[in-house]
Amino acid sequence: MKNKIEIIPAIDLIGGKCVRLSQGDYNQKTVYNENPLEVAKMFEAAGIKRLHLVDLDGAKAKHIVNHKVLETISTKTNLIIDFGGGLKSDKDLEIAFNSGAKMVTGGSIAVKDRDTFLSWLEKYGSEKIILGADAKNGNIAVGGWIETTELPVIEFISDFYKKGIVKVISTDISRDGMLTGPAFDLYEKIMNRLPAVEIIASGGIATMNDILKLNEMDVPGVIVGKAIYENRISLKEIEEFIKQ
């Protein structure tokens, strides 16, 4: 019996509110709910176990900002929270874990300050540190997706896998928030090259069929944001999928 894909909803935070950006553009922002805890509780009620919480203010400020929201959700729900956005220092990580994050995601830091990222991996272990591998045209993008590097995504993941990374969130940013379907080919390539990596697909999920296709491909996890907020995928559909 193969494992079923884990559906992980995303809450992106700006000013303590639940928002979504299109293609990571802060000028293309939609506020979906003033109260992220309310949203988190709705997810939990649907049988969802895990939450991807992104501090977009933190990503811009280059240090953790919305840790109070993290603390509120972690103390008032049983969701397993992975937290990312602006984590640049050991202090940021301490605040995130002390505020209730079970895992943290590092993307830009893994590119720009590799030693710090590897020291976190050594200190906290591969169950708690997730590699963020955001891709644009097959190469790694960083800095809230503002810069694209010359690093091919698969080489980048492979390099950190050799250092002990197991969990990877890979977002195809050309698709993020665009509801155009995920980068199936990218995930297939990653899984063929690195079958032991627990890849979490992110970006472009538009319908339940996208999730079902990723499930067929044996992708371990999927992050869903805009499709839920715009009712392209209902929480009822997710609940039924989880119960099957």
Residues forming the active site: 12, 134
Cα 215 to Cα 7: distance, rounded to the nearest angstrom: 10
Cα 135 to Cα 108: distance, rounded to the nearest angstrom: 12
Q: Which residues on neighbouring strands pair with residue 31, listed in sequence order? A: 19
3-state SS, residue 38: helix
Per DSSP (E only), the strands in 70-195 are 80-84, 103-106, 129-132, 135-136, 139-142, 147-152, 167-171
Token pair in block for residue 171: 């977002």
Q: Which residues on neighbouring strands pair with residue 199, listed in sequence order? A: 168
